[in-house]
Amino acid sequence: MLKENTCVSVYELDRIFKSARKIFFIGIGGISMSSLAEYCVFSGKEVFGYDRERNESCRRLEKICHIKYCSTPDSVSSMDLVIYTGAIDESNFELQSAIRKKIPTVSRSNFLGYVMSKYRERIGVSGAHGKSTVCAMLGHIFEYSCHDPSIFCGAVMKEFCSASKLGNGREFIFEACEYQNAFHSFYPTDAVVTNVEFDHPDFFKDKEETLLSFQKYVNMAQRAYINLDSELARRLEHTNAITFAVDEKADYMAKNITSEGEYTVFDIIKGIRALCKCRIPLFGKHMVQNALCAFCVAYEKGIKAEVIAGALESFKGTKRRAELIKKLGNKHIYLDYAHHPSEIRASLEGFSGMGYKRILCAFQPHTYSRTVSLYEDFKGAFSLASELITAPIYEAREQNIYGYSDEKFASDLGAELICDYEEIAKRILLSSCDCAIIMGAGDIEKTKKFIK
């Protein structure tokens, strides 16, 4: 069973943190955990941690932290505070050792809530999809306009070569994940909702329970920014709601969407007034929605339209979000994080809109519960792919208690199951496709090391 989030008060956490000299992170290689570890180092703490495997975040942190990749009896014995990721099981060795030794233990979301409480403006980006991109866009816009924000994103932002940035400004821009109701531990002044969909079926019962969770998050904020193109998000209520949409009528709208070379171009309309023309180096309606979302938040915060437009045009993107990793003649190879059927469909539409004629998609399902619960939706999500490869499921925190079969999933999707990443890379290199997408939220990105 997954360990639940803690609810330690800001005041109590402030007392614990100020007196702590040594802090231990369980799951330190996680994208958010590694950012919090860096925050603690820069706050003058000695940071230690454990992760089950050495990843890119761990390699970066090894220069400033002490990291172990195996459990030992003395891992946490001299620690003053232990911070754990919500992805661990409550039987985790380090966690149980800390509890036995009566060392304060705090969940990642609880500690992140404490960190952000020190800032005057706290802009939280939530949603089933797009929150990392919008968070990165907002961070870039505020940095571009010399606000010097602090940013905690769920993906590596290319502008900063990191998933986080500590600034001296009054804004704290953060990604607010709904899994395990983690975002209920935060303190947003501004709650951004990119969309609402049923996801994380290992935690939420159905779409109604998911919607209630988002409503509680929105209620915590002074202002809410809601995407009216999202059917479920339209049902959210807030006395100070600002809306945006591409298809529906909203406070902020994107109109006259066209392509110009490597850019998508559109007009930003507020009411009946055209504010500016935006050019983004990204494709697909979902990316227009993301840029529109970031625009309306920044504009409401007082940043001029032409400044926002300039920032969006120069936006470099995030890792694993439509990230071009290799050009081999006329063949372009991308990494993409899409793992929910709606994300997959939107992502493939975006790539198709870039003018590619033949798309190969190598997809890795993420978690048994999601794959089984949304099985029928997955079947229709890949229609724009000319060739489809599936890899074995990335089980993450789960076990196969569903009778799931990698072979049947591939067969039902009309895909070829390939279990080895080097073999997937070979198939991509031999394919006649002009676009290949290595897709999924698990470890399928390891395929890229074989792309030569």
pLDDT digits (tens, 9 = 90+) for 57-90: 999 999 999 999 998 888 999 999 999 998 888 8
pLDDT band at 381 (very low <50, low <70, confident <90, very high): very high
Binned at pLDDT 50, 70 and 90, residue 336 comes out as very high
pLDDT of 1 over the 80 cut: no
Q: What is the pLDDT of residues 147-185, one digit of tens each?
A: 999 999 999 999 999 999 999 999 999 999 999 999 999
* CATH class in words for 323-450: alpha beta
Given a cut of 80, whether residue 3 has pLDDT beyond it is no
Q: What does the mean pLDDT of the chain come to?
A: 96
CA 324 to the chain's CA centroid: 18
Condensed to tens digits (0 to 9), the pLDDT of residues 383-430 reads 999 999 999 999 988 999 999 999 999 999 999 999 999 999 999 999
- Res. 2: pLDDT tops 70: no
Mean pLDDT of 243-261: 97
Q: Sheet harboring 331-336: ordered strands across? A: 323-328, 331-336, 435-439, 359-363, 387-390, 416-417
Listed by start position, the domains of the chain span 10-112, 119-313, 323-450
Report the predicted TM-score, pTM, of the whole model to 2 decimal places.
0.96
Assess contact for 241 and 226: CB atoms under 8 A: yes
Please write the tens of the pLDDT for every residue from 125-155: 999 999 999 999 999 999 999 999 999 999 9
CATH tag for 10-112 (out of 3.20.80.10, 3.10.110.10, 3.40.1350.10, 3.40.50.720): 3.40.50.720
Amino acid 316: pLDDT: 97
Domain 119-313: assigned CATH number: 3.40.1190.10
Q: What's the rounded Cα separation, in Å, for the pair 253 and 293?
A: 9
Please name which of 101, 76, 81 lies closest in space to residue 20, comparing C-alpha atoms. Answer: 81
